[in-house]
């Protein structure tokens, strides 16, 4: 070989290496995006769910899927007009990259200008779009991705915006008020008119297949609130949240890419009732939904971005309580059989059915459903027994407390439920400071294309901007 | 130019570019390492301090220095034998990369085998080493970097290990029990024998200069616990924590590099008293200490690593309370004049001096020092007034509560202080679930050489291993 030939060879090899290095340093577009939002899920909810999984046999102690992601960040959540935010203002921040006032859906804080959402922009740019929630699909968080209303309570107006959104997939909860006021056309009918195929049973859901066009798939069991049941209350009759994610992937997977937002909305609801066992099981439900996304990511690791975050923390949740000090036993949460919400409904209906309401019967219910006290349950101290007795007497109006004291003790919940929940939570090592949201920064977990953008400490409005950057699109606000 | 020459030129240019690319992808050694530990500092403590800074004029609302770092992570904290850890077990994890049992200092969980610490390894590898704490320098967290004892309470033994450590700088708090039991030689004398220059005044501290050899610099005002005073209680007489960091940098800066661990230990102490205003001001004190490190980092950005983390969370702190729901006003914390600890001591001594103890006098103290009630203070609801009155009557033994109820309400604190602190915290929008540590994951903030290692969700034992990796050393455990 001549020297010239030799040099040329080396030269071309080097050029190839350089080209490779140059390309590999360019960010790959996030073509497939999963945006998971655990409503009300603070760092404590994540840590409690991990601790519960490690303390029990569930999932062989592997922990949550998303805490193993390589990237984590923390995001501030404040609203334009209140430091402790609400789901509408936080949802708008997470969907549009703009701060707004509490209760506002996808509009500026003066409730005048509609804001473009990342989902709308993704649709315009050719991505398929799916919106999933375990609460009603017109609830604040999902609504913020397709609707623009001055108040989150305008459910009918929001459901009409959904029907006309042209998004490719809606799944999970149903409409909260599909029929609006008297004489208005059902939002379901309007969705049908706009080309949506609607499924409401497990069978129809299972039969959904690629090419079916636009889909609105509600759960097979829907509460009066429009939501799916709590994970702890679900049976084989329910379609769990992860199945909606798997179905969205099946239907939306295409060369155009997709943007799927999935909210686990009932972590927040459970936390509003200070119901640790139920909140933890809904965090695990979120983790299973993320598993479905991870399965897809493994097939397209260079083009898939998965984000898991929260809109705000709910409850001032902590893994430690004044009563238990340094002790904890998260496996005790297993002794709670149903959600606090279901227990309240059950207790009320049983008391209505029984002629002789008495303390003994109430205590028996607490033993049966929370595993507390009695012969078979976890033993109670005199202090805890008195908490339950006081709660029973308050609920039967035999004991009256001051307004503030009663609210601090029971929030808006059934007093017996609140006392039982607090006692079981405390015994496990969990406690709460509030029945409302709090303003602690929320965690962000990320993996895949563009995930490096999500490191550090930033504001919630930065999150959709970072996602848009990874998708190589720009939200027009 | 001939084609051959032309090719050769391109070739050599390409080789240079390739060499540059190869070298730039190699990690630069962290030659100067700052390891800040906020004892008891959870995500909530950080968020509360940020919120306070933004709500007041302090520091022009810039927020904390370390939340602007590009990298953040979350770390689990559990001990080998308890899920809710203590400062000794957590300090050992952060210093040695190994889990141990609660109360054990730098030894394995069976309390048999001493563990090598990252500070000891750094010293062996030629780095200068500085250890700083705002609590006594023989307290659990700093001790874990130089001592190996089966129990954190063995202060004298720990202080002897310090004296013989050969580390270059110790600063902040003093020894807790320098004189041990009767007839033992003072730890100070042993330190002197081992070549330490000891300073205990502001003047001597200011005069310390490079070349002075090994230094043990205690605060100019030291509490009976051996600690510096709380930031909220400090005056011009005190040497603030950041001055110790600045002095350590001045003395240790050398071509050999350095490893400086600085603990802000009283965030934890304030949180154990559920004293939000005091905790927040000690988080700000930590932030100022980090500022000193940032100044150094700016001069050596490619060789400096700054880590800010915590050993565990204390108090189950939340930015939201049942009473205030969605409201908050962090600027109210300004009305607290002294720490809860100082208030308890003051109230006790004033009551001892006064012949006629009465409720009115107690309420006046609460007005004077917490800005609550009376003519000038923040107005109190009947519920809050009753909380204060009950606390006064419990403290004067005129009201007796059950053991559990009294502990939940007041922990181990002066009842009047605990009630006043809780009320002011609640009004600001802050609340607590525990008087002890909790098990929520703690934040990690990082900037500089090797900082990319600190992204994600991991265990506290990973932190010193990551630091060691950045320093290109290996801890031998």
**How close B361 comes to chain A (CA, Å)?**
26
Check pLDDT > 80 for residue B22: no
The burial of B265, by beta-carbon neighbours within 10 Å (0-12 exposed, 13-18 middle, 19 or more buried), is given as buried
CB within 8 Å of A78: residues ≥ 6 apart: A84, A85, A99, A439
Cα gap B457→B466, rounded to integer Å = 13
Chain B residues with beta carbon closer than 8 angstroms to that of A404: 323, 381, 383
The pLDDT score that the predictor gives to residue A209 is 97
Could you tell me which chain A residue has the CA closest to the CA of B442? A43
CA gap B296, B385 in Å, rounded: 50
How far apart (Å, rounded) are the C-alpha atoms in residues B246 and B206? Answer: 11
Number of inter-chain CB pairs under 8 A, A vs B: 212
**Percent of chain B having pLDDT more than 70?**
92
* Contact check, Cβ <8 Å, A76/B50: yes
> How many whole angstroms separate alpha carbon A348 and alpha carbon B89?
47
* Rounded distance between C-alpha atoms, residue A414 and residue A461, angstroms: 36
Q: What is the mean pLDDT of residues B240-244?
A: 98
Say which range, A129-138, A175-184, A238-247, B327-336, has the weakest mean pLDDT. A175-184
Res A23: pLDDT: 47
In chain A, residues with a C-beta closer than 8 Å to the C-beta of B81 are: none
**CA–CA separation, A245 and A231 (whole Å):** 15
Tell me the shortest Cα–Cα distance from A236 to chain B, in angstroms.
33
Mean pLDDT of B162-175: 98
CA distance B193 to A428: 52
Phi and psi angles of residue B242, each rounded to the nearest 5 degrees, phi first: -65, -25
CB-based contact, B319 to chain A, within 8 Å: yes
Please write the tens of the pLDDT for every residue from A187-245: 999 999 999 999 999 999 999 999 999 999 999 999 999 999 999 999 999 999 999 99
pLDDT confidence bin for A137, thresholds 50/70/90: very high
Taking a C-beta distance cutoff of 8 angstroms, is the pair B41, A436 a contact?
no
Three-state secondary structure along B167-214? CCEEEECCCCCCCCCCCCCCHHHHHHHCCCEEECCHHHHHHCCCCCCC
Which has the higher per-residue pLDDT, B78 or A6?
B78
Return d(Cα B461, Cα B468) in angstroms, integer: 12
Sign of the alpha-carbon torsion through A368, A45, B272, B359: negative
- Gap from A422 CA to chain B (nearest CA, Å): 12
Mean pLDDT of B191-208: 98
Top-confidence residue, B27 or B33: B33
C-alpha torsion angle, residues A430, A431, A435, A440 (rounded to 10): -90
Using the 8-state DSSP alphabet, how is residue B133 labeled?
A: E
Alpha helices by DSSP H, listed for A56-183, are 87-96, 118-124, 140-143, 155-163
Interface test with A, best of B272, B273, B320 (most A CBs within 10 A): B320
Cross-strand pairs, B64: none
Q: String of b and e for A169-187 (b: at least 16 CB within 10 Å)?
A: bbbbbbbbbbebeeeeeeb
CA angle B422, B425, B430 (to 5 degrees): 115
Could B434 and A7 be called an inter-chain contact, meaning their C-beta atoms sit closer than 8 Å?
Answer: no
**For B72, which of A14, A440, A457 is closest by C-beta distance?**
A457
Q: Is some CB atom of chain B closer than 8 A to the CB atom of A86? A: yes
Cα→Cα distances B220→A175, A381, B134, B188, B212, Å: 67, 48, 12, 16, 19
Do the Cβ atoms of A323 and B51 come within 8 Å?
Answer: no
Q: Stretch B92-118: mean pLDDT, rounded?
A: 98
Residue of A nearest to B440 (CA): A44
Q: Does residue B320 sit in helix, strand or coil?
A: coil
CB nearest A439 (choices: B7, B319, B402):
B319
Binding-face residues of B in 199-258 toward A, CB within 8 A = none
Mean pLDDT (chain A) is 94
Look at residue A348 in the predicted model and tell me its pLDDT.
86
Residues of A in contact with B401 (CB under 8 A): none
Long-range pairs, B191-199, Cβ under 8 A, ≥24: B191/B162, B191/B163, B191/B216, B193/B163, B194/B163, B194/B164, B194/B166, B196/B163, B196/B170
Angle at CA of residue A349, ends A343 and A350, nearest 5°: 85
Say if CB A50 and CB B77 are below 8 A apart: no
Of B302, B320, B269, the C-alpha closest to B133 is: B269
Q: Is A81 on the interface with B (CB under 8 A)?
A: no
pLDDT per position as a tens digit, B53-103:
999 965 556 799 999 999 999 999 999 999 999 999 999 999 999 999 999
A74 at B interface, C-beta within 8 A: yes
Q: What is the mean pLDDT of residues A464-471?
A: 98
- Whether ipTM tops 0.90, in short, is yes
- A 10 A CB-CB count for B333 gives 27
What are the CA-CA distances from residue B199 to residues A373, B147, B170, B189, B240 (Å)? 60, 22, 10, 13, 15
Q: Which helix (H) or strand (E) holds B283?
A: helix B276-299
Distance from CA of B430 to the nearest CA of A (A): 9
* Residue of B1, B2, B18, B440 best to disrupt the A interface, most CBs of A under 10 A: B440
3-state helix, strand, coil in chain A (%, to 5): 45, 15, 40
Query: In 3-state terms, what secondary structure has residue B37?
Result: strand
Q: Given an 8 Å threshold on Cβ–Cβ distance, is B435 in contact with A321?
A: no
HSE, side-chain direction, 13 A CA sphere, residue A243:
20
* CB proximity B12 to A under 8 Å: no
Interfacial A residues in 286-305 facing B (CB < 8 Å): none
Cross-chain Cβ contact A323/B73 below 8 Å: no
B287 CB neighbours in chain A (<8 A) are none
pLDDT at position B25 = 47
The residues, ordered by sequence, that sit 6+ positions from B68 with a Cβ below 8 Å of its Cβ are A457
Q: Please give the Cα distance from B215 to B192 (Å, whole number).
A: 10
**Residue of chain A minimizing CA distance to B78:** A51
Contact by Cβ (8 Å): A436, A18: no
In 3D space, the residue among A178, A263, A170 whose CA is nearest the CA of residue A218 turns out to be: A170
**Cβ separation A407–B327 shorter than 8 A:** no
> Is the CB of B16 inside 8 Å of chain A's CB atoms?
no
Distance from the Cα of B287 to chain A's closest Cα (Å) equals: 15
Mean local confidence (pLDDT), A368-387: 95
pLDDT at B324: 95
B130, B258 in Cβ contact below 8 A? yes
Give yes or no for a contact between B282 and B231, defined as CB atoms under 8 angstroms apart.
Answer: yes
Instruction: Say whether residue A80 is in contact with chain B using an 8 A CB cutoff.
Output: no
The number of angstroms, rounded, from the C-alpha of B114 to the middle of its chain's C-alpha atoms is: 24
Phi and psi, residue A457, nearest 5°: -125, 115
pLDDT tens-digit series, residues A423-433: 999 999 999 99
Q: Is A322 on the interface with B (CB under 8 A)?
A: yes
Chain B residues touching A403 at Cβ < 8 A: 383
Confidence (pLDDT) at A76? 98
pLDDT above 70 for B113: yes
Q: Please state, in angstroms and rounded to a whole number, the distance separating the CA atoms of residues A284 and A286.
A: 5
pLDDT band of residue B396 (cuts 50, 70, 90) is: confident
| Helix ranges, A144-199 (H) | 155-163, 187-193
Nearest to A14 among B14, B47, B321 (CB): B14
- Residue B281: other Cβ atoms inside 10 A: 24
A320 touches chain B (CB under 8 A): yes
* DSSP secondary structure, A410-472, as one string: HTTS-HHHHHHHHHHHHHHT-B-S-SSEE---EEEEEEETTGGGG-EEEETTHHHHHHHHHHT
CB contacts, 8 Å: A319 with chain B: 83-84, 316, 438-440
More reliable by pLDDT, A62 or B43: B43
Q: pTM for the complete prediction?
A: 0.93
Q: For residue A396, what pLDDT is reported?
A: 87
Contact of B78 with B125, CB cutoff 8 Å: no
**CB-based contact, B20 to chain A, within 8 Å:** no
Sort out which chain A residues have CB atoms less than 8 A from B436's CB and list them: 320, 322, 325-326
Q: Which residue of A has its CA nearest to B18?
A: A18
Of B438, B455, B456, the CB nearest to A319: B438
Q: What gap in Å lies between CA A40 and CA A48, rounded to an integer? A: 13
C-beta atoms surrounding A95 within 10 Å: 29
Contacts of A383 in chain B (CB under 8 A): 402-405
* Span A93-118, pLDDT tens digits: 999 999 999 999 999 999 999 999 99
Whether B375 has its CB under 8 Å from any CB of chain A: the answer is no
Q: Looking at residue B4, what is its pLDDT?
A: 60
Pairing of β B304-310 and β B442-448: antiparallel
Min distance A255 CA to chain B CA atoms (Å) = 31
Q: Which 428-457 residues of chain A touch chain B by CB within 8 A?
A: 429, 431-441, 443, 445, 455-457
Q: Which of B43, B90, B457, B458 should one mutate to test binding to chain A, selecting the residue with the greatest count of A CBs within 10 A?
A: B457
Q: Tell me if A456 and B72 make a contact (CB, 8 A cut-off).
A: yes
């Amino acid at each position: 070989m001549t020297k010239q030939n030799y040099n040329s060879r080396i030269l071309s090899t080097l050029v190839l290496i350089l080209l490779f290095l140059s390309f590999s340093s360019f960010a790959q577009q996030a073509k497939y995006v999963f945006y998971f939002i655990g409503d009300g899920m603070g760092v404590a909810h994540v840590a409690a769910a991990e601790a519960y999984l490690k303390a029990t046999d569930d999932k062989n102690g592997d922990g949550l899927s998303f805490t193993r992601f390589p990237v984590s960040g923390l995001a501030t959540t404040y609203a334009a007009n209140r430091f402790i935010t609400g789901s509408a203002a936080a949802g708008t921040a997470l969907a549009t990259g703009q701060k707004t006032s509490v209760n506002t859906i996808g509009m500026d804080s003066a409730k005048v200008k509609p804001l473009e959402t990342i989902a709308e922009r993704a649709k315009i740019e050719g991505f398929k779009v799916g919106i999933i929630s375990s609460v009603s699909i017109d609830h604040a968080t999902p609504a913020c991705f397709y609707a623009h209303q001055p108040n989150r309570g305008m459910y009918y107006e929001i459901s009409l915006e959904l029907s006309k959104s042209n998004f490719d997939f809606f799944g999970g909860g149903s409409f909260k008020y599909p029929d609006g006021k008297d004489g208005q056309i059902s939002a379901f009918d309007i969705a049908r008119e706009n080309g949506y195929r609607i499924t409401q049973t497990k069978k129809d859901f299972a039969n959904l297949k690629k090419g079916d066009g636009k889909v609105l798939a509600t759960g097979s069991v829907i509460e009066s609130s429009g939501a799916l049941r709590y994970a702890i209350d679900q049976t084989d009759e329910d379609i769990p949240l992860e199945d909606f994610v798997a179905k969205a992937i099946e239907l939306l997977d295409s060369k155009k890419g997709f943007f799927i937002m999935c909210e686990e909305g009932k972590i927040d609801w459970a936390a509003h009732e200070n119901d640790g066992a139920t909140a933890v099981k809904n965090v695990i439900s979120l983790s299973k939904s993320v598993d479905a996304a991870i399965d897809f990511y493994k097939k397209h690791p260079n083009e898939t971005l998965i984000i898991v975050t929260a809109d705000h923390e709910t409850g001032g949740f902590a893994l430690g309580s004044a009563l238990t000090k340094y002790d904890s036993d998260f496996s005790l949460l297993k002794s709670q059989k149903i959600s606090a919400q279901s227990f309240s409904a059950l207790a009320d209906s049983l008391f209505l059915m029984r002629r002789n309401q008495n303390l003994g019967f109430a205590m028996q219910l607490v033993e049966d459903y929370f595993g507390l006290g009695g012969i078979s349950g976890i033993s109670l101290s005199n202090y805890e027994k008195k908490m339950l007795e006081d709660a029973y007497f308050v609920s039967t109006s035999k004991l009256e407390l001051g307004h503030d004291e009663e609210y601090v003790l029971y929030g808006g919940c059934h007093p017996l439920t609140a006392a039982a929940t607090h006692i079981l939570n405390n015994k496990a090592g969990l406690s709460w400071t509030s029945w409302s949201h709090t303003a602690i920064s929320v965690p962000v977990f990320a993996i895949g294309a563009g995930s490096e953008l999500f490191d550090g400490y930033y504001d919630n409005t930065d999150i959709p901007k970072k996602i848009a950057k990874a998708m190589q699109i720009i939200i027009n606000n």
